[in-house]
Amino acid sequence: MHRLSYLSPKTEVRESKIHGRGLFATADIAKDEIVAVKGGHIVDRKTLREKITPRLGPVEIQIDDNLFIAPVTDEERELSMLYSNHSCDANLGIRGEITFVAMRDIRAGEELTHDWVMTDDDDYSVECKCGAPNCRKIVTGKDWQRLELQKRYEEYFSAYLTRKIAAELSFRAKRGTSQSDR
């Protein structure tokens, strides 16, 4: 079987201080360079929650409100994993829905991480253990709605979240309200 996801030849998977295994740069990576592309099958939320996650764990990337890309079999799991752990001080962002790019120049040896805020719109809340100085301590599937995170990652949100953010900003502008008014 072939790999389902692409990992740059400048990366390797090894033990991570953040969580289990992580993806690390083995050579310097330039800003906006493609680091990984998630592969798998397109599945809906019900299939993900009822059939995939109970068996394979968290293996997906959300690509729309009710769509995810994920492996569907035990054999595909390792072939689709990116091992990019979450960090509140991420160095990878999203281009499109499934392409991970460097948000800044990355030095060899650094762990390659992304902030779930760039891909997730879901109902969850988990304790964060990324260890970053700006760690949010609690990460939720609704963090994309936070204005400071929208500004920090503005060009690195997945395309479907970029559309949601634009719609929310347009709605607020029409109502004449801001995030601080809520």
Write the CATH number for 42: 2.170.270.10
Domain of residue 152 covers 6-174
Q: Does 48 score more than 80 pLDDT? A: yes
Let me know if residue 102 belongs to a domain: yes
Q: What is residue 55's predicted lDDT score, i.e. its pLDDT?
A: 96
Backbone dihedral angles phi then psi of residue 147, each to the nearest 5 degrees = -55, -40
**Is the model's pTM score more than 0.85?**
yes
Residues 6+ apart with CB under 8 A from 66: 44, 45
Let me know if residue 116 belongs to a domain: yes
Let me know if residue 180 belongs to a domain: no
Q: Does 52 score more than 80 pLDDT? A: yes
Range 10-39 average pLDDT? 96
Q: Dihedral through CA 20, CA 11, CA 112, CA 164, nearest 10?
A: -110
The SS3 of residue 122 is coil
Let me know if residue 179 belongs to a domain: no
Q: What is residue 171's predicted lDDT score, i.e. its pLDDT?
A: 76
Residue pair 76/66 in contact by the 8 Å Cβ criterion = no
Q: Does 150 score more than 70 pLDDT? A: yes
Q: What letter would DSSP give residue 110?
A: P
User: Which tokens go with 181?
Assistant: 């008014």
Q: What is residue 128's predicted lDDT score, i.e. its pLDDT?
A: 95
Query: Cα(36)–Cα(126) distance, rounded to whole angstroms?
Result: 25
Let me know if residue 79 belongs to a domain: yes
Distances in Å between the Cα of 68 and the Cα atoms of 2, 106, 123, 139, 180 are: 20, 28, 15, 19, 32
The CB density around residue 103, as the number of other CB atoms within 10 Å, is 20
Total domains, the chain: 1
Let me know if residue 182 belongs to a domain: no
- Residue among 98, 56, 52, 99 at smallest CA distance from 77: 56
Q: What is residue 169's predicted lDDT score, i.e. its pLDDT?
A: 79
Render pLDDT for 73-97 as a digit per residue (tens, 0 to 9).
Answer: 999 999 999 999 999 999 999 999 9
Let me know if residue 52 belongs to a domain: yes
Round the average pLDDT of the chain to a whole number and report it.
Answer: 93
Residue pair 5/71 in contact by the 8 Å Cβ criterion = no
Query: Cα(5)–Cα(38) distance, rounded to whole angstroms?
Result: 5
User: Which tokens go with 54?
Assistant: 């109970």
Q: What is residue 10's predicted lDDT score, i.e. its pLDDT?
A: 98
Let me know if residue 124 belongs to a domain: yes
